[in-house]
């Protein structure tokens, strides 16, 4: 059902849609979604970093940062929001299994019914597109009917479609028989119901449904396409039931410029031929024969036109058209063989992705154009298939991850440079540090500090005020001491009486000055000793750290080197795994393309054999001049 496939594209993904209200701060003038989660402020810096890349559609970097932040426990306030966003990001990259685990774990918690419904619905859609039908059905059945009516309608169509893909036509008929919804979804429901009835050989029951869809009045291109498809299905079902007269007016409803016009022209011709109107049948068949030979309906017309001429006894024209068909089939056969060889050369996928300029992984990516190459003309039908598109998307993602690993390996080489620089700096600085350590006698300095402190204690105890004087004061005090010694040596000399009086006066003045500043100078000296003690302790501490760093530096560098080497080895392993998986995916997609071309080649070969046989039969009848009645 094309509508279901198309409806998968407009998602920013269920998990992403659900996570957005949590991810956005409560902005002014913005009303919260009543069916979603309430807006909340971003409280973790690293979660804001994740959202920065998320809002740029760079989902790969966003998921990388989110996983790193979660592993390092840097998002303690937004764990629930982060898990839901992580599920959405996994879903956006096609990691539906991991996304399913996260959603199932979260949806068992106390989340609102609306949130649960949306999560299960979008998860079911992604599983459906990935062709995991059992998982898709299980997820879609988790959705209750209390959901937006259009989403609910889409859910029912998905359920019916997956039942039909599993050939559970009775279940699909039961699900669709009494279903009603919006007019456009009702049209899809009736179409699917009609197809299911046809495949259960209940044509009479299917006709009203397909006929109703085939008569709808609409200007919607989507519904016009559905209308054509319903008329085509009903018309060919009637042809198969040998009711050509009823099939023709239904097939004539199909637009001549629509995607189903070629098959409609073929069917109209067979309807005329079915009632013996071969001349009328030539009109649509000759029109069809002028179209592109790549179309299977056009290829069949290369046989139906001479068949009609043969039935009209125009054997000459029949033989001419059979010869033309054989030549056309031969040329096409050769072109297909050349295309298969070109695909086997292994360059198909690279050419398909040459014009892919978007260097990010997003859910929306889809190949929309084919390269200008000989094999491209045969791949349009394959390109329209979901299997090939999903496989090509996987191959593109593998290439992206491989390029990402290449970039990371270049980044890791920067760590090698950092470690080399660190090692070189270590080699240069260690000799200098050793020289400084060798020249520094910490024990001697400590002993000197102890001596200073003892000396200060003695000065304080003996009240030796001169010991703390300035150099000039101590010089003066020394001169006074020498005078005192001279006077003591000449104590009996009466001529020194005046000198003794001057000495006493000078000594008293100097002593008074020294004594007045003694307490302050003593406090300053003790403070200096304490500062010296603190500096010595800091020096000793740093000396210990230097020794430890000197001993541990080679070990640390070696550990970092080992970690970097381990990361590099892991990258090499991942790169090899990616290369192997990419090669497998390449072979798989090449096999799909070759299988498509081989099927076309087989069909053309079958038509070619039929044309040769019919031409031989015409020549045989002409040579024997005994025309026989030809069976259609």
Tell me how far apart the alpha carbons of residues 451 and 457 are, in angstroms, rounded to a whole number.
10
3-state secondary structure of 600: helix
Domain edges within the chain:
1-166, 167-291
| CATH placement of domain 167-291 | 1.25.40.10
pLDDT, residue 18, reads 37
Which residue is associated with the tokens 């192997």?
Answer: 580
Helices 183-199 and 149-165, packing angle to 10 deg:
10
Tell me how far apart the alpha carbons of residues 328 and 608 are, in angstroms, rounded to a whole number.
9
Are 585 and 391 a contacting pair, CB within 8 Å? Answer: yes
pLDDT average per 10 residues of sequence, the chain (632 residues): 35 35 33 50 83 83 88 82 80 74 72 74 79 85 81 86 90 86 86 91 92 90 91 93 92 90 93 92 92 85 91 89 90 85 76 61 53 62 72 79 83 80 75 73 80 84 82 85 83 82 85 85 86 84 77 65 84 88 86 85 89 88 61 45
- Asked if domains 1-166 and 167-291 share a fold, the reply is yes
pLDDT, residue 40, reads 60
What is the pTM assigned to this prediction? 0.64
What the block records as the tokens of 497 is: 């009486």
pLDDT, residue 39, reads 59
To which CATH superfamily is domain 1-166 assigned? Tetratricopeptide repeat domain (1.25.40.10)
Tell me how far apart the alpha carbons of residues 170 and 189 are, in angstroms, rounded to a whole number.
14
Biggest distance spanned by C-alpha atoms of the chain:
184
Helices 518-624 and 296-311, packing angle to 10 deg:
10
List b or e across 331-366, with b for residues whose CB sees 16 or more CB atoms inside 10 angstroms: ebeebbeebbebbeeebbbeebeeeeeeeebebeee
Tell me how far apart the alpha carbons of residues 176 and 186 are, in angstroms, rounded to a whole number.
9
First to last CA, the chain: 35
Are 128 and 162 a contacting pair, CB within 8 Å? Answer: yes
pLDDT, residue 468, reads 79
Q: How many residues does the chain have?
A: 632
Are 130 and 25 a contacting pair, CB within 8 Å? Answer: no
Tell me how far apart the alpha carbons of residues 130 and 448 are, in angstroms, rounded to a whole number.
83
pLDDT, residue 29, reads 38
């Amino acid at each position: 059902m094309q509508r279901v496939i198309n409806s998968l594209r407009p998602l920013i993904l269920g998990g992403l849609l659900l996570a957005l209200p949590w991810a956005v701060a409560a902005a002014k003038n913005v009303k919260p979604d009543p069916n979603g989660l309430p807006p909340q402020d971003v409280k973790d810096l690293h979660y804001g970093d994740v959202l920065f890349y998320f809002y740029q559609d760079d989902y790969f970097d966003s998921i990388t940062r989110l996983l790193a932040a979660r592993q390092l426990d840097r998002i303690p306030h937004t764990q629930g929001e982060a898990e839901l966003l992580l599920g959405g990001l996994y879903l956006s990259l096609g990691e539906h299994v991991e996304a399913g685990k996260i959603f199932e774990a979260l949806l068992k918690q106390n989340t609102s019914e609306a949130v649960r419904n949306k999560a299960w619905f979008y998860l079911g859609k992604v599983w459906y597109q990935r062709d995991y039908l059992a998982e898709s059905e299980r997820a879609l059945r988790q959705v209750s009917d209390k959901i937006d009516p259009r989403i609910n309608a889409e859910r029912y169509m998905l359920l019916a479609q997956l039942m039909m893909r599993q050939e559970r036509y009775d279940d699909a008929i039961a699900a669709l028989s009494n279903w009603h919804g919006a007019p456009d979804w009702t049209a899809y429901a009736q179409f699917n119901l009609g197809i299911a009835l046809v495949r259960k050989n209940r044509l009479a029951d299917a006709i009203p449904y397909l006929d109703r869809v085939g008569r709808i009045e609409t200007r919607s291109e989507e519904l016009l396409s559905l209308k054509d498809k319903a008329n085509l299905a009903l018309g060919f079902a009637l042809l198969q039931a040998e009711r050509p007269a009823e099939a023709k007016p239904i097939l004539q409803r199909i637009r001549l410029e629509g995607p189903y016009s070629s098959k409609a022209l073929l069917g109209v011709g067979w309807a005329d031929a079915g009632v013996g109107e071969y001349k009328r049948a030539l009109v649509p068949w000759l029109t069809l024969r002028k179209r592109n030979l790549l179309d299977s309906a056009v290829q069949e017309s290369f046989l139906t036109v001479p068949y009609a001429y043969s039935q009209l006894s125009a054997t000459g024209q029949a033989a001419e058209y059979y010869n033309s068909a054989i030549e056309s089939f031969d040329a096409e056969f050769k072109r297909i063989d050349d295309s298969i060889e070109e695909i086997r050369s292994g360059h198909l996928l690279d050419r398909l992705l040459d014009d892919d300029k978007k260097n990010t992984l997003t859910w929306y990516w889809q190949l929309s154009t084919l390269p200008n190459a000989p094999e491209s003309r045969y791949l349009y039908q394959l390109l329209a298939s979901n299997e090939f598109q999903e496989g090509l998307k996987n191959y593109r993602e593998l290439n992206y991850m491989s390029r990402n690993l290449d970039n990371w390996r270049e980044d890791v080489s920067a760590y090698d440079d950092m470690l080399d620089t660190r090692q070189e700096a270590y080699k240069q600085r260690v000799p200098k540090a050793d020289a400084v350590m060798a020249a520094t006698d910490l024990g001697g300095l400590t002993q000197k500090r102890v001596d200073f402190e003892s000396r200060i204690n003695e000065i304080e105890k003996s009240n030796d005020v001169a010991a703390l004087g300035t150099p000039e004061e101590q010089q003066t005090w020394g001169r006074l001491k020498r005078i005192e010694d001279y006077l003591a040596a000449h104590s009996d000399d009466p001529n020194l009486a005046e000198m003794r009086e001057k000495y006493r006066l000078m000594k008293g003045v100097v002593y008074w000055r020294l004594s007045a500043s003694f307490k302050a100078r003593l406090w300053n000296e003790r403070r200096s000793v304490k500062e010296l003690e603190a500096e010595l302790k800091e020096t000793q501490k740093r000396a210990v750290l230097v020794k430890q760093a000197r001993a541990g530096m080679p070990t640390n560098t070696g550990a970092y080197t080992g970690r970097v080497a381990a990361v590099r080895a892991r990258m090499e392993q991942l790169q090899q795994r990616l290369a192997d998986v990419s090669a497998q995916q390449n072979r798989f997609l090449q096999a799909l393309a070759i299988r498509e071309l081989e099927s076309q080649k087989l069909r053309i070969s079958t038509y070619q054999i039929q044309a040769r046989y019919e031409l031989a039969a015409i020549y045989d009848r002409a040579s024997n001049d005994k025309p026989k009645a030809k069976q259609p």
